[in-house]
Amino acid sequence: MNDLVLTPEDLPRVESVPLEERDLPASTYELLCRTAAAMPDKPALHLLGEGPERTWTYAELLHRVHQAANHYLSLGLEPGKGTVGLKLRNSGKAYAALLGAQAVGIANPVNPSLAPEHVDHIFALTGAEIVVTDESDFSAQPGDRLLTGHRPEPGDLAAYFHTGGTTGTPKVAPHTHAMEVYMAWVLGCSGAYAGGDAVALAGLPLFHVNAVHVTGLAPFMHGGTVVSLGPLGYRDRALMAGFWRIVERFRVTAFSAVPTVYSSLPPVPEGVDISSLRAGAVGAAPLPSTVRDGFERSARVPMLEGYGLTEATCVSAATPAFAPRPGSVGLRLPYQRIRATPEGELEISGPAVFPGYLGPDGPDPAGKIVDGWLRTGDLGHVDADGYVYLTGRAKDLIIRGGHNLDPRPIEESLLAHPGVTGAAVVGRPDAHAGEVPVAYVTVGAAVAEDELLAWAAARAPEPAAAPKAVFVVPTLPTTAVGKPYKPELVADSVRRLFPGVEVLLEDGRPVALIGDDPGLAATLDRHQIRHRSTS
């Protein structure tokens, strides 16, 4: 492949060919059809963790996609316009159901663990006409071809993905076929998914864009193979105990995971051949140096950081294999532009940017996109070569006495402690300063909270950033895909001050407290937080 980006010097060479001249498929359905026609007998999916092990060739995967699509049509789905809600755990059926929905309509995968009222809200917003569950069966439908003459175009909507965690009302991000096909193609520029020997290990859930693109459409476009860990993914303890033997057996070349997955990987057993592995991709959360060092020492391949968000399809920056830069989360991908505003907020433009969150009347930029630039809400900077550096989230800033504090440097100082395996810093309401930083950490061995407090104070980027408290906890709250979920920690920090208080959150900040503690009123004065007595 002549489009590999292994150093920053490769970017101008790749971009010298206009994107519109690259003969990309018109849709994700055409993407799959092209590969199935070129290599029908090549393994597309090895399916683990869902009963007897199975392998689907590209011909069989396309057959299953046709069955799913024709099932939707038989139920009255309007070709090109209807939405299919997918409430599925990872399986072969989930791949077929999602790609089949995109072949004849719009796929809307949701997290099966979401509260029922949130699922109902999403399906009502997207207008889902059909809902597919683990019990659904497509096998009675013909799979030799689609039972319509309809074929999706690049500008047609392909999917609706919800954002956010397991609490709060998620937003819905529409994706077009052009966005998804571009992402499938550009991920191949990393080399991990290009070439006939590329094998991607899939352990993240298919309601998340990383799983759909990194371990789905990208390998399928470039003729690679996907090894699916099944319904539980990286949480399947039995499969994870034999993780490295799976890498050896299927000659896995790459996998993508969050830092907590890497920290829980078993040691590489003696005599296991994992020489096929090219790299481990990581993102979504701060990476402790101990986790990186442990993986690279054990697996003897680099851990490559990346950066992306659902609103920009999936990935916006990835670390080139031959030119990593310390502290960076990667180099911008071809045809994308990333910049920092004077306020330090990162913005993205290019073929991966979504049309705006879904509203009652369709996609609406609603201030998220300004003059073609997506406002990410992430803080950072970009160097002259296009490498991206993150410093935090705008909404995570701690405002202490009118002074903005970024929690990320505080977290990094704690992660530098040899006993700390995870760290999250949030702002706790304070009667005098408005907010003060408090830290939550997980540890690999017993470490006293006072020791960690002194460690953080000695290494704080400024005196105001020294945490007021450090709490050792068994685990840090995360979303279903392992991203840090700080609102729960904000609520916990308030409850530690005022036991028995009920905390109501909005956009990760406390907006109302319910309780009768006499200290509440003074704490809330500077926070514009509502207080309601239980009496």
- Tell whether the model's pLDDT for residue 206 goes beyond 70: yes
What is the C-alpha to C-alpha distance for residues 370 and 365, in angstroms, rounded to an integer? Answer: 8
Q: Residue 511 has what pLDDT?
A: 55
Taking 50 as the threshold, does the pLDDT of residue 297 lie above it?
yes
Residues 166-184 pLDDT 10s:
345 678 999 999 999 999 9
User: How many percent of the chain have pLDDT more than 90?
Assistant: 49
Q: How confident is the model at residue 519 (pLDDT cuts 50, 70, 90)?
A: low
What is the distance between the terminal CA atoms of the chain, rounded to a whole angstrom?
A: 70
CA distances from 8 to 5, 195, 321 (A): 7, 21, 10
Q: Of 528 and 393, which is predicted with more confidence?
A: 393
DSSP for residue 497: H
Q: Which of 64-68, 320-324, 438-442 has the lowest mean pLDDT?
A: 320-324
Cα 138 to the center of its chain, rounded Å: 29
Which two tokens mark 422? 């995870």
Give the dihedral sign, CA 227/309/134/480.
Answer: positive
Confidence of residue 90 (pLDDT cuts 50, 70, 90): very high
Q: Is the predicted pLDDT of residue 211 greater than 80, yes or no?
A: yes
For 403-420, what is the mean pLDDT? 83
Distance CA 108, CA 405 (A): 38
The arithmetic mean of pLDDT across residues 287-294, rounded, is 74
Output DSSP code: residue 484. Answer: B
User: Which of these, 408, 411, 321, 339, lies nearest to 376 by C-alpha position?
Assistant: 339
| Rounded average pLDDT over 60-86 | 96
Highest mean pLDDT among 20-24, 253-257, 274-278: 20-24
Evaluate if residue 331 carries a pLDDT over 70: yes
pLDDT at 49 > cutoff 80: yes
CB-based contact 270:247 (threshold 8 Å): no
Which of 436, 133, 442 is CA-nearest to residue 288? 442
Strand partners, 298: none
Categorize the per-residue pLDDT at 131 as very low, low, confident or very high, splitting at 50, 70 and 90: very high
pLDDT at 167: 42
Contacts of 309 (CB under 8 A, 6+ apart): 316, 376, 378
Least confident of 14-28, 41-55, 373-387, 490-504: 490-504
d(CA 396, CA 373): 22
Instruction: Enumerate the H helices of 28-167 as residue ranges.
Output: 28-38, 58-74, 92-104, 116-126
Would you state the pLDDT for residue 506?
Answer: 57
| CATH architecture of the domain formed by 10-393 | 3-Layer(aba) Sandwich (3.40)
Residues whose CB is less than 8 angstroms from the CB of residue 246 and which lie 6 or more positions away in sequence, other chains included: 48, 201, 227, 229, 239, 252
Fold category of 397-532 in CATH: GMP Synthetase; Chain A, domain 3 (3.30.300)
**CA dihedral sign of residues 352, 2, 279, 36:** positive
Q: Nearest 5 degrees, angle CA 515-CA 517-CA 521?
A: 90
Per CATH, 10-393 and 397-532 having the same topology is answered no
What pLDDT shows up at residue 431?
66
Least Cα distance to 52 among 100, 88, 86, 91 occurs for 91
The pLDDT, as a whole number, for residue 86 is 97
For residue 92, pLDDT over 80 is answered with yes
Q: How far is CA 95 from CA 68, 211, 406, in A?
A: 10, 10, 40
Domain ranges of the chain: 10-393, 397-532
Report pLDDT for 481. 57
What does the pLDDT read at residue 406?
Answer: 75
Q: What is the DSSP string of 302-317?
A: -EEEEE--GGGSS-SE
Q: What is the pLDDT of residue 299?
A: 84
Candidates 265, 195, 273; CA nearest to 229 is 265
Compute the average pLDDT of residues 250-278. 87
pLDDT at 525: 44
Q: What is the mean pLDDT of the chain?
A: 86
Amino acid at 361: D
Beta bridge partners, 427, equal 437
